[in-house]
């Protein structure tokens, strides 16, 4: 296995087979096909709520789209200072979102410190027009250094 990047290796043979089956014939585009609906239904079942699914080719595209969907220009997304979205996306989320700002938060072992997150969020006054508006917190379950969050800590 190679964990260098999400787009360095080929897909699992079952995925390739399924793609070949679904690529033959015709289906509506832009998320309106039967397969799109099946995938959304599966995610609704998993998350026990209504969801929208956007298919993208890379993690950079997924991170950029997610932060864009959660915010708007002038919004602030908080993340650990060593988070992948800050260190390894080459500014793509900020560029592609049209102006969402990534704001780093401190914490040990790659995990966001809740107290520092609250303190950093307090710097942004939602009533002040020239202040960024807190919009999202980006948390990676497996941090860049391999630690994971738990419900206990």
Over the stretch 66-97, which tens digit does the pLDDT of each residue have?
999 998 888 999 999 999 999 989 899 999 88
In a domain, 148, yes or no: no
Task: Quote the number of domains for the chain.
Answer: 2
Give yes or no: residues 70 and 128 share one domain. yes
- Name every residue whose Cβ is closer than 8 Å to that of residue 32 and which is 6 or more positions away in sequence: none
Q: Which has the closest alpha carbon to 89: 71, 64, 68?
A: 64
Give residue 42's domain range.
Answer: 13-47
Give yes or no: residues 88 and 30 share one domain. no
Give yes or no: residues 40 and 76 share one domain. no
Per-residue confidence at 137, pLDDT binned at 50, 70, 90? very high
Give yes or no: residues 41 and 93 share one domain. no
Sheet of 133-138, strands arranged across = 101-105, 75-80, 133-138
Residue 23 pLDDT more than 90?
no
Among 21, 47, 73, residue at a domain's last position: 47
Among 47, 70, 89, residue at a domain's last position: 47
The residues that bridge with 78 in the sheet, in sequence order, are 103, 137
Give yes or no: residues 21 and 72 share one domain. no
In a domain, 7, yes or no: no
> Quick check: 137 and 78 in contact, CB under 8 A?
yes
In a domain, 109, yes or no: yes
* pLDDT score at 3: 67
């Amino acid at each position: 296995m190679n964990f260098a990047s999400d787009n360095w290796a080929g897909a699992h043979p079952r995925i390739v087979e399924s793609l070949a089956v679904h690529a033959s014939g015709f289906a509506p585009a832009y998320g309106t096909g039967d397969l799109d609906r099946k995938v959304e239904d599966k995610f609704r079942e998993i998350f026990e709520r209504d969801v929208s699914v956007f298919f993208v080719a890379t993690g950079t595209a997924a991170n950029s789209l997610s932060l864009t969907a959660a915010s708007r220009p002038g919004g602030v997304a908080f993340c650990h200072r060593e988070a992948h979205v800050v260190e390894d996306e080459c500014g793509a989320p900020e560029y592609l979102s049209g102006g969402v700002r990534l704001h780093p938060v401190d914490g040990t072992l790659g995990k966001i410190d809740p107290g520092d997150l609250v303190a950093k969020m307090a710097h942004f006054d939602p009533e002040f027009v020239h202040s960024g508006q807190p919009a999202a917190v980006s948390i990676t379950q497996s941090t860049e250094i391999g630690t994971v969050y738990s419900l206990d800590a």
